[in-house]
Amino acid sequence: MTLSALQAARYTYQPKMPAILSEKLANIKIEEGKPTQSIANQDELKKIFKNTYGKPSVTFVKGKNPSVNKLLRVGVILSGGQAPGGHNVIAGLFDGIKKGNAASKLYGFLGGPSGLVEGKYVEITNKLIDAYRNTGGFDIIGSGRTKIETPQQIAASVETAKKMKLDAVVIIGGDDSNTNAALLAEHFVAGNLKTQVIGIPKTIDGDLKNNVIETSFGFDTATKTYSELIGNIERDANSAKKYWHFIKVMGRSASHIALECALQTQPNICLISEEIEAKKMTLRQITDYIADIIARRAANNENFGVIIIPEGLVEFVPEMKKLIAELNDLMAVKAAEFNKLADFNAQSAWLGKNLSKPAAAAFNTLPADIAKQFLMDRDPHGNVQVSRIETEKLLITLVDAKLKAMKKGGKYKGSFSAYNHFFGYEGRCAFPSNFDSDYCYALGFSAFILIVNGLTGYLSSVRNLTAPAKEWIAGGIPLTMMMNMEQRHGSQKPVIRKALVELDGKPFKTFEKKREEWAVKTSYTVPGAIQYYGPDEVCNQPTKTLIIERGMPKAAVPKKAPAKDAPGKQTAAKKAPAKTAAKPAAPKNSAAKTKK
Ligand code: FBP
């Protein structure tokens, strides 16, 4: 890749660190908390994780640590969807390892977890890592969605770890990948293998969080990138005053991304899947809700607007959820029969016979183009790929039909012209914001401290994130602490619980209070592009979700912008009054342009 000016500048950026991680390594020790419990199903989980269940959470504090210079051989894996900051996790880990002992080695497994199974890796060298510092993407070693689950995959991973004489493997992933990390840690200990396993909380979806993990990395940059685009579209809509924009944003299940973008841009409508499920809203009710707002704005002569739609929506609409579940089962059991059907007509007729009546009825309400998307290839876990279902187009079609009917009845006098958009991949590899650059580097460095202290089955944790980076609290959380048992593919499995949007949580409540006003009165905010250099209030703010959830220490926002700032120079925030470190509590669970 040719170097852009911003990329060259970002290479020199020095991530801000929690004060404890800037200490001499020999002066950083771990302080153990009390033994921990899983969030539920303690007895079952104790049996599955005989060796790794219930370990204490740990915090890094000042104190003598004689083991920091250990010679280490560590492997690192990027798992699942890309998230801005992954390269900095590796940079932080690399710098920690080399600071501890220049002869230690870091290996990057190629193409995700399959790299460990197949023993495919490269050594991360100074030259390699320096070409990726503070950049987006996972291209340094690539990512993949293979799960290390089967006995064969686990045996192959054990083999690779033994052959490479690995002291540790660091898995950078979401809830599923970290569940795998916990299982791998347990297998390694049970098999007397010295290889420790440490997880890192990654996903733009923001659904790997709880009371001890404040946010997953990548959420900050991705939502700021989408919000920039949404804000620009809002301004365009308000300038031309003639289009409605239906914007779908990523988030496989949870609607955190949609909610954060709504808080940042104040659109006319933002659907929240979790609310739609709780209210058992049908597609028809959702259509009526949108059409009503469009008609109210038209009555004010405002035939334009912006609607944010979470990617996972269809799976939360009860009739669609049932349809998808039946289709997933059918495709798993009768795939061969289904694949022989000649065309969509034959498929529809076959589904009419094989689906339950309500599911078949739901299928028949879908326009053919969208219905075909429900039948596309499943993902490796047998699930429909929601990012490929064009919910935004479906809603435009349904709303258009509804408005035509309302026009006939004299209930709507406006004009409706709509565009659809899908923002997902645009945000996953953006240059990480300063927040993600700093957070990820600290997560990687902390993973090294966990390794050098001999811990396994832990998630690297950096907290107190709305305070200036210096005051962040670094440590580790036992992975089993975030687990419960859930039904997966017909049996109970240990999993890290996904954090969906909480309808009684502060971010949703904040949105709920304002949405009626935003619906009718044009109230758009235009956040603009992510800024990397400049005053703190412009370039060092965390997400609204984090600020609303955790509160913002007053001193973290300087009253006056500093006079100068330059690439590589840290903008020092005013020192906030020392905050007492919050004790880790039990985790509480808290988702083509077509002109009509
Ligand atoms: P992770 O959960 O692995 O971080 O990925 C999340 C995500 O970005 C979702 O928002 C989206 O639904 C999905 O990945 C798309 O997956 P793919 O990259 O395989 O198309």
Summarize pLDDT for 515-530 with one digit per residue, the tens.
Answer: 999 999 999 999 999 9
Higher-pLDDT residue of 441, 327: 441
The answer to whether the CB of 387 is under 6 A from ligand 1 is yes
Q: Which atom of ligand 1 is nearest to the CA of 177?
A: 3
β pairing state of 121-123 and 105-109: antiparallel
Q: What are the distances in angstroms from CA 512 to CA 14, 160, 287?
A: 39, 51, 19
What is the per-residue pLDDT for 554?
67
Domain stop point among 499, 521, 540: 499
Distance between CA atoms of residues 303 and 355, nearest Å: 40
CA of 236 to the centre of ligand 1 (A): 29
Residue in 200, 207, 219, 250 to alter for ligand 1 test, most ligand atoms within 8 A of Cβ: 250
Q: Which atom of ligand 1 is nearest to the CA of 79?
A: 3
The catalytic residue positions are 205
Distance between CA atoms of residues 353 and 281, nearest Å: 27
Summarize pLDDT for 403-454 with one digit per residue, the tens.
Answer: 999 999 999 999 999 999 999 999 999 999 999 999 999 999 999 999 999 9
CA of 385 to the centre of ligand 1 (A): 9
Token pair recorded at residue 286: 């959702």
Domain hosting 346: range is 219-423
Q: Which atom of ligand 1 is nearest to the CA of 80?
A: 3
The answer to whether the CB of 252 is under 6 A from ligand 1 is yes
Q: Is residue 520 part of a domain?
A: no
Domain count, the chain: 3
Residue nearest to atom 14 of ligand 1 (CA): 81
pTM of the complete model beyond 0.85: yes
Output the DSSP codes for 47-72.
HHTTTTTTPEEEEEEES--GGGG---
Residue nearest to atom 17 of ligand 1 (CA): 81
Q: Is residue 439 part of a domain?
A: yes
What is the percent of the chain with per-residue pLDDT over 70, rounded to a whole number? 92
- 281-289 mean pLDDT: 97
Q: Look at 35-39, 169-173, 362-366 and tell me which has the smallest mean pLDDT.
A: 362-366
Distance between CA atoms of residues 524 and 514, nearest Å: 12
Do 369 and 225 have their domain in common?
yes
Residue nearest to atom 5 of ligand 1 (CA): 81
Do 109 and 166 have their domain in common?
yes
Do 373 and 457 have their domain in common?
no
The answer to whether the CB of 81 is under 6 A from ligand 1 is yes
Q: Is the pLDDT of residue 583 over 80?
A: no
The answer to whether the CB of 112 is under 6 A from ligand 1 is no
Q: Is the pLDDT of residue 567 over 90?
A: no
The answer to whether the CB of 254 is under 6 A from ligand 1 is no
CA of 250 to the centre of ligand 1 (A): 8
CATH number for position 489? 3.40.50.450
Do 201 and 150 have their domain in common?
yes
- φ, ψ of residue 555 in degrees (nearest 5): -70, -10
CA of 118 to the centre of ligand 1 (A): 23
Q: Is residue 70 part of a domain?
A: yes
Residue nearest to atom 6 of ligand 1 (CA): 81
Distance between CA atoms of residues 241 and 262, nearest Å: 20
Which residues, 6 or more positions from 252, have their beta carbon under 8 angstroms from its beta carbon?
Answer: 205, 311, 312, 386, 387, 591
Nearest CA to 320 among 275, 266, 284, 267? 284
Residue in 252, 257, 381, 388 to alter for ligand 1 test, most ligand atoms within 8 A of Cβ: 252
Do 46 and 108 have their domain in common?
yes
Q: Is residue 585 part of a domain?
A: no
Token pair recorded at residue 159: 């083999």
Q: Is the pLDDT of residue 507 over 50?
A: yes
pLDDT band at 579 (very low <50, low <70, confident <90, very high): very low
What is the per-residue pLDDT for 569?
36
CA of 104 to the centre of ligand 1 (A): 33
Do 200 and 224 have their domain in common?
no
- 47-64 mean pLDDT: 97
Do 33 and 151 have their domain in common?
yes
Do 86 and 157 have their domain in common?
yes
Amino acid at 567: P
What is the per-residue pLDDT for 380?
65
Residue in 143, 205, 378 to alter for ligand 1 test, most ligand atoms within 8 A of Cβ: 205
Q: Which atom of ligand 1 is nearest to the CA of 218?
A: 4
Domain stop point among 399, 423, 447: 423
What is the percent of the chain with per-residue pLDDT over 90, rounded to a whole number? 84
Higher-pLDDT residue of 582, 533: 533
CA of 81 to the centre of ligand 1 (A): 4
CA of 252 to the centre of ligand 1 (A): 6
Q: Is residue 331 part of a domain?
A: yes
Q: Which atom of ligand 1 is nearest to the CA of 250?
A: 10
Do 286 and 350 have their domain in common?
yes
Q: Is residue 589 part of a domain?
A: no
Q: Is residue 397 part of a domain?
A: yes
The answer to whether the CB of 311 is under 6 A from ligand 1 is yes
Do 283 and 253 have their domain in common?
yes
Summarize pLDDT for 311-321 with one digit per residue, the tens.
Answer: 999 999 999 99
Do 45 and 66 have their domain in common?
yes
Q: Is the pLDDT of residue 561 over 50?
A: no
Residue nearest to atom 18 of ligand 1 (CA): 81
The answer to whether the CB of 478 is under 6 A from ligand 1 is no
Summarize pLDDT for 375-409 with one digit per residue, the tens.
Answer: 887 776 667 787 789 999 999 999 999 999 999 99
Quick one: how many helices (H) and strands (E) in the chain?
Answer: 22, 15
The DSSP call for residue 161 is: H
Q: Is the pLDDT of residue 596 over 80?
A: no
Summarize pLDDT for 66-97 with one digit per residue, the tens.
Answer: 889 999 999 999 999 999 999 999 999 999 99
357, with CB counted inside 10 A (0-12, 13-18, 19+), is exposed
Q: Which atom of ligand 1 is nearest to the CA of 386?
A: 12
The answer to whether the CB of 251 is under 6 A from ligand 1 is yes
Across the chain, mean pLDDT equals 91
CB-CB contact of 200 with 173 (8 Å): yes
CATH number for position 374? 3.40.50.460
CA of 545 to the centre of ligand 1 (A): 20
Do 447 and 537 have their domain in common?
no
CA of 203 to the centre of ligand 1 (A): 8
Q: Is residue 524 part of a domain?
A: no
pLDDT band at 590 (very low <50, low <70, confident <90, very high): very low
